[in-house]
Amino acid sequence: MTAEQIHDKLKSKFGEKILDFQKDVADPVAKVSPDAVFEICQYLKNENDLGFDTLMCLSGYDLGAGKSLGIIYHLFSLKNRHKFTVKVELPRENPRLQSVEKLWRTADWHEREAYDLYGIVFENHPDLRRILCPDDWEGWPLRKDYVVQEFYHGIRVPYKEDWHKFETFSDNPDRGHFVFQFERTLTNGDHQPGDGKEK
């Protein structure tokens, strides 16, 4: 089935829960209502002529400070050899979404990553906790308004006043970010770290 045919089938089944469809992009994507995402994904997986048995990727995104957060699902059917993309957008304050881990087990760690980096809570997830950052890390590092904490357990964390020490970093006040020393070295074309040619 084409992406447009899949969208039409979803629209017929779920009506206003299918909010938008972008077809003239590399990966055609349907934007759906967050409160129906589990039901829609379950239908995409179990309906015989859809058969989306594979969740290739589940990723978070941020539309910018003060704007919505989102989750995007890239689906593939091994049986029917077609693919489709679904996305949802959530309020920045208290973003919550039903987990799809019961449908695709691979969603387990993908949802944990989106929780860890964007603060999106996946309800009914079997083990929702951070997966990259320490459990007691402050904030959600991939949000565009994230600012790095100054200390972690008494250890200095790279902070805003450090930014301009390194030429490779372009000033971006919307993000707490840091470019490490070796990146400056490589960008200047001097040498590889640890090759014995440090200046």
Residues 73-102 pLDDT 10s: 999 999 999 999 999 999 999 999 999 999
Question: If DSSP codes are grouped into helix, strand and coil, which group holds residue 52?
Answer: coil
Task: Give pLDDT tens digits for 17-42.
Answer: 999 999 999 999 999 999 999 999 99
Given a contact cutoff of 8 angstroms between Cβ atoms, the answer to whether 128 and 138 are in contact is no
pTM for the whole structure: 0.79
Q: Which domains does the chain have, with CATH numbers?
A: 3-137 (3.30.460.80), 147-199 (no CATH)
CA dihedral (127, 131, 135, 137) in degrees, to 10, reads -140
